Structure 1
Amino acid sequence: MTSGFSQENGSEQRADEVWTVGQLNRRVGDMLQGQFSRIWVRGEVSNFTSAASGHWYFSIKDERAAVRAVMFRGRAQTVGFVPKAGEKFEFRATVTLYEPRGDYQLQVEAMRRAGRGDLHEAFLALKEKLAAEGLFDESLKRAITTMPRAVGVVTSLAAAALRDVLSALARRAPHVPVIIYPAPVQGMDAAGQLCQALQKAIDRNEVDTLLLVRGGGSLEDLWSFNDEALARLVASSPIPVISGVGHETDFTIADFVADLRAPTPTAAAELCCRSREGCLDAVRVLSTGLASRHARLLERAALRLDRAAALLVSPQDRLRQQGEKLNQLKQRLTRAAAHPQERRATSLAALRSRLLYAGPDLAARQQSLARSRRDLLATSRRLIERRAQRLVAARQTLQALNPRTILNRGYAIVRKDDGTIVKNALDLSVGEQLGVELDQGSVHVSVLQAHGLL
C-alpha cells in the first residue's frame, strides 16, 4: 500500500521509499499553507519581542493552548500601536511551518483589538486614507509659537483634562491668557460640536495656539477624535494645533494631523508656550549681557578720549615746531647746492661697490647645478622604485579582494530586481524574483519560502 504523500517532483511515494526530514517538513508546510490560508485567530499576546530589524515575535495563547507567531516589519508598521503582553487581539494570519525545527507558526498579516474589531478597522482605514492624501506630512506642520499672545483650549468644561491644563498653565505661564472653546468630547454628536468649537476659534483669531485635549479612555470613548471632518479641519487650521488626547499610549487621527502631539493634556499645556521662569532667566541673561557690553563700550570710549587728548597741541607749539622744521630744510638745501659734485661722486662709488658685490659667480653656480641634477636623478629613481613596489602590493591586494575569487570557491551573490544584495532571508517575500550570480554565468530564481533564524 502506497502513502498518500507526494515527493517534490509530484510523483507518489512508494511504500519502501524513505523520505528525508527536510522533505517531510517541506511537504507538511505546503499542506498547512494550503489548508489554512488567511484565517482569523483570537488570543492573548505573550512573550512579545520587537527585534532590531523591526520584526515582531510573540506567542498567541488562550486558556488551553499557545502557538508561536511572527509579524514582519512591513506589516507591523501599519498597525499603529505596539501590543503588550496580556492584551487580547484578533489576528489575520497564514499557517506556516518553520522547517529547521519542524515547528508550525502563524505569519500575522494584520491585527485588531478583540471586541473592537470594527472600530479599529475603521480607524486603520481612515488613517491610511488621510496618509495617502498627505495630511500627515511633516512639511505641513506649523511651528508652535513660544511666546503666544493667548492660548485656546478646545475641550469639555467638565473634563478633568481642562483642570489639568489650567493648573499647568497657571503654574508654568500665569502671564498667558487662556480662552476656552467648550465642546463635549464624548457622545454621538461630540465630533460635530468639536468641529464647531474649533471653527469658532479659527474665525475669532484671538489666540496663537490651540490645545485639543481630553483625558484617557477606551477606543469608544476617544472615537470623536477619529472623525474625518475634525481631522481635516485640524489639518487646515491656520492656527497651530497641539493634540493631547488620552494617555501616552493612546493614538487618535487628531494626533496624526495636529502640528504637535502631546502624550497627555498636561504635556500639551507645557508645550504650548515658554514658562515664566524660562522667560525671566532669558531676561536676566540678556540684561547681564547688555550691562557688560555697555561697560565695554564706555571703556573703549574713554581710551579713545585719552588718546585724542594726548595728541592735542597748542597753536604756539605747532608754529614753533613748523619753524624748526623749516630751518632744517633750509640748511639741507644750502649744503646740497654748495657740494653737488662731491655728493654725485659719493653716490657713484656706492653704486659701483654694489654692482661688484652683486655680480654672479658662474663656476660656483654650475657646480651647484650639477649637484642638484645628480640628487634629482637619484631621488627620482628611488621614488619610481617605491611606487613600483606599492603598485605590486596593490595589485596583489586587489586580486585577493576580487569577489570573483570568492565566487570561484562555490559561493554566489543574490540580488533583488533593484540590485540590492540579499543578506537576510526574512527580508524576502514569497514569489519575489531574485538574480543569482555565479562564477560562471547567472540564474534567475523565484522565492518559494523564506526562513530566517528565530
Structure 2
Amino acid sequence: MFEPPQAGVAPRIWEVGALCRAIADTLQARFNPIAVRGEITGFSRASSGHCYFTLKDGQGQIRCAMFRRAADLLDFMPRDGELVEVRGRLGVYEARGDLQLIVEGLRRAGQGALFEQFLRLKAQLEAEGLFDGARKRPLPVMPRGIGLVTSPGAAALRDVVTALARRVPHIPVVLVPALVQGAQAPASICDALSKLYLLAQAGSAMEGDPASKTGAPPPIDVILLVRGGGSIEDLWAFNDERVARTIVQSPVPLVSGVGHETDFTIADFCADLRAPTPTAAAELVSEPRAVWLGALDLLAGRLQDAAQRQIDLRHQRLDQASQRLGRPSGLVAQQRLRLAALAQRMRHGVLLKMQRMAQASQALEASLPQGVRRSLAQRGERLERAALRLELLNPQLVLERGYALLTDAEGRAVLRPSQVRLGDAVHARLAEGELDLTVAQRRLL
C-alpha cells in the first residue's frame, strides 16, 4: 500500500537505472580502489575467458567478476576453498541491481612470504641432495602390505581406502593417523612416519622366519603420505624441514599424494614418487587384481601348451623306438625256431655218432672177448633207446601231426583258454609256417 508522504517531506522518486548508477558513483567515491581477503566459492571460467566467483568469510559474501585481460595474468588457477587476496573496484551490475567486485588482481593469501620461505628451503634441501633422483627407488610391483599416513577424518582417507579396496582388496593396509594441518601437524606427521618405519623394518627382519610371523603385523613394502587440497597455509605442514628429512629416511619407497594436481610441496620432492592426488597415489601402488589374474591365466595357458608339446614329442620318440624294436613275440618266435634247428642238428649228430660207433663195434667184435662184446651190445641198445626217447620229444613231430603251438603277445605258451580274453592277439606256430590270430571265442573242456 503506497502511503502519502509526511508533511514537509517530499522524497525524490528515482528511476531504477538512475538509482543504480548513483549507488555505483557513491561506492566509487567512497571505497575504490579496494583490496579484499576471503575464500573463493562457485568459481567458473566462461568460454570468453572471463572468471566469475563469490568471495566470502564467516560474516558475508560478495559477487566477483574478473575479466579476461586480468585472468590471463594469473600464474595459477583459482579454485573453490582457496583463501585469496583480491584488488579491484566495487560497482553495481545494473542489469540485476547486484553489488559486485570487479577483480583486477588476485593472489593466494599470504603467498608472498610463504612462497619465499618455500623457495629458500627447497634450494637448501636440493643442494644437500635430498631431491636427487639417484636415491629414489622404484615402487614394488606387488606389495605385501601398504602403510598409510593421513588424518582419520579426511576425505583423502576415504578416497585412498576406496581405491585400494576396489583394486587390491587382498593387500592389508596399516593406517597410522596424523594431523595434516596446523602448527602441530609437522611433528605429528614425523611421529606417524617413524612408527611405520619401525613396522617396515620389523617385517623385513622377520622375513624367512615363519615362526616369528604368528600374530605379527603384515610386512610393509610401500608407504603413502596423503592429504586433500587446500590453500598454501593448509598444506604448509608438508613444506616443513623436519617432515622432509623424515621422508628421506624411509626404509621402503614412499609416495606423496598431497593436494591437487597443481599443488607442489617439499614433501613431493623428497618422496620416491609424487602423485597428483591421494587417489592417484593409491592407484600407483595397486595394480588391479584382475590384471594379475589375467597374467596368471596367460602364463598357465603357455605352460600347458609347452607341456603338451613335450608330451607329443616324447610320444613320437617312443613310437620311433617301438618301430626299431619290433614285436617282442616275433623275436621269441625266431629264437624258438633257432632252438628247434639246433635240437635237430643235435639229434642228427647223435644218430651219426651212433652209426659210427656201431660200425666200429662190428669191426672190433670179432677181435674182442665175448664179455666185452656183450657189454658193448647192451650199451648200444641203451643208446638206441635214449635216441628214440629224444626223438619222441621233438616238438616238430607234434606239429607235423596237425597240432599248433600258441603263444600270447608276451611270448608265453597258451595252455588253457583262461590265459587269454576275447579280442586278444595270439601267435600260432604250425609244422610249416606261422599265423597271427585273434581270440573270438573261448570254450573250456
TM-score of the superposition, structure 1-length normalised? 0.46
Q: Structure with the greater relative contact order (CA < 8 A, sep ≥ 6): 1 or 2?
A: 2
Larger Rg: 2
TM-score of the superposition, structure 2-length normalised? 0.47
